Amino acid sequence: MSSTLKKAFPIFASRTERFHYLDSAATGQICAAAAAALLGYETTARANVKRGVYPLADAASNAFDAARASIARYIGIDDANEVIFTSGTTMGLNLLAHCLTAELAPGDEILLSELEHHSNIVPWQIAAARRSLIVRAIPVKKDGTLELAAIEGLLSARTRIIAVAHTSNVTGAISDTSRIAEAARAAGAYFVLDGAQALPHGPVDLKRLGCDAFAASGHKMFSATGAGIVWMNKELAHRLPPFLSGGEMIRTVSLKGSTYAPPPHRFEAGTPPIGACLAMGAAAEWLASLDWTAIESEERRLTRRLLDGLSATAHTTVLGPAGFCHRRGIISFDVDGVHPHDLCQFLGDRGIALRGGHHCAQPLMERFNLAATTRASLALYNDDADIDALLEGLESAVRLLR
């Protein structure tokens, strides 16, 4: 199956040398559908959106609306106007941190977790410093999952926002969103979900996940860099103030003051990354057409192979959940006595693309008493040859580098 899927990603046919791409949690490779949408718009259909009335501009605006609708369907949302285009998860979480905290009073609390990407920590810290808010964090258990039993003790009458990752970009652990949603509801807090690592693994149903707001990136779901989305429920989006300001987010402007457009435009100031948004819509359409039961079962099989192989490799410790159910194929490991950067360089020279470092999750590294790990992350195009290459390469690395 992965060989058929591989054909839908132009990069694999373009490489003549050994190429085992195991860094999809950093960025996924672009699929042909997204690449065609990007190139088609930029070369033959380019006009700004929501401005001109000539046919080319009209067509661009219609394609932009259609992309929004495709993404809404991929995340289980009926009203496409609840989807706001951003430049990616980082901008989305900044938007949410800025806008949601505008309603808060000094002393109100925000609950994050120890496993968050810096993009879901720093924007809240900056907002907290500005508005004298308190930031707390759900601890992480030894197996890399959230210590949800601690939530009750961390919530207070002042908790207004809970913001956590759907899937850890370090360990692949999937959060128990229904328990967190329940806790948020009971506390009367908004539940913000960082979905950066969720969308590459198939469609999601945000209604079932129970969040009030969600952010994700196009480039991680096999589209172009430069576009992403925020989803917010309608009532919330209509109530919140803008984030960035300028053209296209207004209703009226006078030198005395301005009024704002309704969502989604209120949150989409300036010319959006149109080509990348169209590409994200095309990726969502293509991904939605795939057999995710089969893809998921293949990802589980490869994850199991990799986890078993790593556990059998001398001096190697895997972080994160031991099972295959509540995790994705994002696997961080530590090789005692070998720095992740040396390991990634050694394996990179042998055609194996991995990521070494703190993965923008320094609090989680601290939790595990590590400065850095090596991470292999799987996507729908990986196959047994990728796992074999990594495990064989790692054996040599342990022999030669330790």
Active-site amino acid positions? 360
Minimum distance between the CB of residue 198 and ligand PLP, rounded to whole angstroms? 9
Q: Is 266 in the site for ligand PLP (CB under 6 A)?
A: no
Question: Which span (75-83, 95-103, 113-121, 260-268) binds ligand PLP, by CB under 6 A?
Answer: 113-121
Binding mask 198-217 for ligand PLP (x = CB under 6 A): -------------------x
Helix (H, G, I), strand (E, B) or coil at 228: strand
- Judged by CB under 6 A, the residue of 29, 61, 70, 89 near ligand PLP is 89
- Judged by CB under 6 A, the residue of 61, 113, 197, 382 near ligand PLP is 197
Tell me the HSE value of 197 on the side-chain side, using a 13 A CA sphere.
29
CA angle 280, 282, 287 (to 5 degrees): 95
Question: Which span (116-124, 144-152, 201-209, 277-285) binds ligand PLP, by CB under 6 A?
Answer: 116-124
- Judged by CB under 6 A, the residue of 8, 96, 165, 237 near ligand PLP is 165
Residues 303-342 that bind ligand PLP (CB under 6 A): none
State the DSSP string of 305-343: HHHHHHHTSTTEEE-S-SSSSSB-SEEEEEETTS-HHHH
Tell me the HSE value of 200 on the side-chain side, using a 13 A CA sphere.
33
For the beta carbon of residue 219, count every other beta carbon within 10 angstroms: 25
Q: How far apart are the first and last CA of the chain?
A: 37
Are the C-beta atoms of residues 32 and 41 closer than 8 Å to each other? no
Q: Is 375 in the site for ligand PLP (CB under 6 A)?
A: no
Q: Is 374 in the site for ligand PLP (CB under 6 A)?
A: no
Q: Is 146 in the site for ligand PLP (CB under 6 A)?
A: no
Cβ proximity to ligand PLP: between 70 and 89 the closer is: 89
Residues 226-255 that bind ligand PLP (CB under 6 A): none
Task: Name every residue whose Cβ is closer than 8 Å to that of residue 398 and which is 6 or more positions away in sequence.
Answer: 313, 314, 315, 316, 335, 338
- Judged by CB under 6 A, the residue of 68, 98, 117, 265 near ligand PLP is 117
- Judged by CB under 6 A, the residue of 34, 154, 196, 240 near ligand PLP is 196
Q: Is 398 in the site for ligand PLP (CB under 6 A)?
A: no
H-type helices in 193-334, by residue range?
206-209, 234-239, 274-288, 292-311
Helix (H) or strand (E) holding 85: strand 83-86
Site size with ligand PLP, rule: CB under 6 A: 12
Task: Determine whether 175 is exposed, middle or buried from the number of CB atoms within 10 Å of its CB (0-12, 13-18, 19+).
Answer: buried
Length of the chain (residues): 402
Q: Is 88 in the site for ligand PLP (CB under 6 A)?
A: yes
Residues at the site binding ligand PLP, with contacts judged by CB under 6 A: 88-90, 117, 119-120, 165, 169, 194, 196-197, 217
